[in-house]
Structures are given as structure tokens and as C-alpha cells.
Amino acid sequence: MDTTPSTTPRAAARAAYDRATLPPGPRAPMPVQTLLWLLRPVSTMHAWRRRYGDVFTIKLALAGDSVQVCDPALLKPIFAAKPDDARAGEANSVLEPVLGPNSTLLLDGREHLRHRKLLLPPFHGERMQRYGEIIASITDAEMERWPVGRPFPLRPAMQRITLDVILRAVFGLHDGDQLERLRPLVRELVDITRNRGAMIPWFRRELGGRSPWGRFVATRARADVLLHEIIRQRQTDPDVAERDDVLSMLVQARDENGEAMNVEELRDELMTLLLAGHETTATSLAWCFQLLLLNPRELQALQEDIAAGSTARIDAVIKETMRIRPVVPVVARRLHAPLQVGGWTLPAGVMVAPNIELIHHRDDLYPQPDQFRPDRFLDAQAESYEWLPFGGGVRRCLGASFAIFEMRTVTNLELADGTMDRVRRAAVVMVPERGVRVTLREPLVA
């Protein structure tokens, strides 16, 4: 993920290089480029690509030079680079206060590989069926609470669903005290981290708990007490081998030296799965509904297909949603060795960033790229570097099967107003500005 602006102690030791050797890009001063990147991410990215082409350099506060790559033919060297030479963990370092230093998202090299191997088995595609019942029952319970005939924003509703899915399927919490205590704390943490001011290192001042950063530190401390309690209980649970949730599998997992993850590692990975899996999936779902509801013919075709017992169209709808509205628009790697990308030799020290948003909107790959046309994916499989909402290489999203499985939830909704939401940046993810307002019609169709 590209979580710029970011900073890292290692960044200070970056090799010096000659900026004249970098691909050309906007000349505006760095603060102006950073502001545009933060406040008008989508239109700015497209304007830069129109002006500078498939490979261009932008300059962002704290992150420094970031070479944006928008041609899928140039991505292989980036995604296949040696993990020590192209580091994603370093590029994500702004998330460290929330996730902790042992998070898969923040690690690089051997430690990253060790964590990834321990985390992969619970997220294997085949295991998803086990979570199907949990996801369906949480969705039903949420929908029963929706008002009928009165508009309401869909994204918060999707956030409630995806949060509960993670707390139950990943943490293994079912109705009870720990679930009730953790839910509001996570919501609060997510809300605070969405506030850009709270997360930018320059503004991290506690001010006796009154500043956004101060509130964040206090809430994180309360969440940590609870997370440690949950982990310790699971580690000593005599029935852990019979449990289906991800945490129970992680507690039992052993690396190649026979070592288990310690409590701190488990805490950081739980927080990672929560934050990486909850907002992203909820936002994709909200976009999916908005696109379907604004394209009634697509919605009808989908409902007919589902009634006929086919899942081909829902998968195409999900793929097209994630193409046209990728919630993570850019992923990034910090180079520690020179890398050849097309005709450019990019020096150690720069950030190289496959730009998902721009690749997904290339008209040579996707004719009329701004149109929502799930048919594109009905007959043809996209090449992996042409459709990459989950990133790529050894850092590709661990929860991709989980997210897609969860998104196969379809409801019968009507848009409260028929206008498309603008894309707004909420820290890392790109969200619908007004939350996708919908009105529920009866009867519900699952």
C-alpha cells in the first residue's frame, strides 16, 4: 500500500542520487504536490499521467521522490524484485503506531516472509467456506436494522458488517463481553486514524490526551489490554485445536524452526488484519452497491444470474467495481538497490509505485474505462498486472480471497439520490464522499 506521506528512520540513511536521472514529472513545489495528492488524488493522478506519460516522478512530503508506474508491462521487475531491494514495509511505515512493529505490512525481508508464511494458511481460498455462515448471519442481522423507505448511508452499514466479520471469523469472538468491549474501541481507533492530522508524524502531540494523537494513544492502550487478554486466553485454551477462527490457527502455527509467534507479534498481526481487512472491504462493498444501483440494467442482470444459481456475474461485478474504484490506488516499494524499469535505471533511495488507479483506467486495456461494464470480466480473465486491486508479488494482499468471498453478499437496494459520489481520500483508502446513500426496499433479496 502507499501510505505516503510517511517517514522512517531508515529513510534518513537513503543514498543520495542525481534527481536529473529520474523520469520527468510535475515541477510544482513539493508542498503543492503533496496537497494535491492528499486533497484531489484521483483527478491529480490522471492529469499528471496525461501530461507525463506512463512513468513519472512526483515529490511528496516525507516520502520524497516517488516514481509512478502506469504501464503493466513495466511492473514485473518491481513485483519480482528481491524483497530486500524493494521494500514495501518501509513504504508503509506511517502505519506503525497503529499496527505495531511486528505487522506483516511493515516488515521486510526474512521477517516478512516468516510472518507471511505463518499467516497464509488461515486465508487460503478453500477455508473461506467455513466463514460463509458467519458472514451471512452478520449481514442478515445488520440488514434487519436498516430503516425501510428512508435514506441512509451504506458505507457505515458495510463497516459494521465487515468489522463484525473480522471480530468473529478472525478473532473468534462471539456474542459476549470481549466482543462488546472491543467493537467500540476499534471503531474509535479507525475514526481517529482516518483523521490525517492525527497520523502525520509532525502533528503527533499528546497534549494530555486532548489532541487527536493523544486520544489515539489512550484508545490504543485500552485496546491493547483487551487484545493481550484475548491472545493469552486463546494460548491456554485446551480446545484451541477444535476452533475455526484465524487467531486459533495463528496461536498453533509454527515457523520452520518450530517457533510460535509471541504475544506481541500476535497482537500486531491481529491489529493488521483488523485495519487492513475492515475499511477496505467495507468501502469496496459500498462502491459496488453504488455502481450497481446507478446501473439498473447491470443490477437486474445480476439478480437474474443469482436466481439462476450462477456466481459468474457477481464475480465479474466485483472485479469491475475493484477496477473502476480501487480503494487502495497505489502500492509502493522503497528501493535499496538500483532497479531497471523500462528505459529507466531507478536509483536506490527512491520510492517506486505501481499506480493501480491509472493502470485500471487505461483505455488500451479497458475501452471506455470510466464506464461500469462487468461484461469485460465475464469472458476474459484480466492479466495479473492489468487488474491489481490487491497489489502484487510477495506482498499481494493476504486477505484477497477473504475479501472477495465477503463481497459476494448482494442486497436489493435503491439509491436515495441518483448521483455518483465523488472519490475522497480517507487516510489510506479512497472512499465515496457521502457514504453511498440508499433506501431499502422490501422484500430483501440475499
Does the footprint of ligand HEM cover residue 171 (CB under 6 A)?
A: no
Query: Measured from the CB of residue 162, what is the shortest distance to ligand HEM in angstroms?
Result: 8
Verify binding: residue 399, ligand HEM, rule CB under 6 A.
Answer: yes
Nearer to ligand HEM (CB atom), residue 344 or residue 390 = 390
444: nearest Cα among 123, 239, 142: 142
Q: CA-CA-CA-CA torsion for 415, 140, 193, 357, nearest 10 degrees?
A: -50
Are 129 and 408 within 8 A, CB to CB? Answer: no
* One of 193, 284, 295, 409 touching ligand HEM (CB under 6 A): 284
Instruction: Calculate the alpha carbon distances from 341 to 49, 71, 232 in Å.
Output: 17, 10, 47
Binding of ligand HEM by 396 (CB under 6 A): yes
Least distance to ligand HEM from the beta carbon of 145, Å? 23
Should residue 272 be labelled a site residue for ligand HEM when binding is judged by CB under 6 A?
A: yes
User: 134 vs 331, which CB is nearer to ligand HEM?
Assistant: 331
Looking at the Cβ atoms of 30 and 179, the one nearer to ligand HEM is 179
Asked if residue 281 binds ligand HEM (CB under 6 A), the reply is: yes
57 forms beta bridges with 67
Closer residue to ligand HEM, CB minimum distance, 278 or 437? 278
DSSP state of 168: I
**Which is closer to ligand HEM, CB of 387 or CB of 390?**
390
**Segment near ligand HEM (CB under 6 A), from 175-183, 206-214, 387-395, 430-438?**
387-395
Does 105 contact ligand HEM by CB under 6 A? yes
Which residues share a beta bridge with 439? 414
Among 69, 75, 397, 426, binds ligand HEM (CB under 6 A): 397
Decide if 346 contacts 67 (C-beta within 8 A): yes
HEC string of 284-307? Answer: HHHHHHHHHHHCHHHHHHHHHHHH
Establish if 273 lies at the interface with ligand HEM (CB under 6 A): yes
What is the separation, in whole angstroms, between the first and last Cα of the chain?
32
Cell 521522490, residue located: 65
The answer to whether residues 42 and 334 touch, using CB atoms and an 8 Å cutoff, is no
3-state secondary structure at position 167: helix
Q: Which amino acid does the sequence have at 84?
A: D
Work out whether 70 is an interface residue with ligand HEM (CB under 6 A). Answer: no
**Binding-site size, ligand HEM (CB under 6 A):** 27
The DSSP secondary-structure symbol of 291 reads H
> Which amino acid, 121?
P
Extended beta strands in 8-123, E state: 55-60, 64-69, 86-87
Q: Using CB under 6 A, which of the segments 52-60, 136-144, 204-212, 277-285 binds ligand HEM? A: 277-285
Please name which of 220, 174, 170 lies closest in space to residue 193, comparing C-alpha atoms. Answer: 220
Per-residue binding string, ligand HEM, 322-361, x by CB under 6 A, is -----xx--x------------------------------
CB of 280 to ligand HEM, least distance (A): 3
What's the closest the beta carbon of residue 114 comes to ligand HEM, in angstroms?
11
Q: Is 159 in the site for ligand HEM (CB under 6 A)?
A: no
Residues that bind ligand HEM (CB under 6 A): 1, 88, 104-105, 116, 170, 272-273, 276-277, 280-281, 284, 327-328, 331, 389-392, 395-399, 402-403
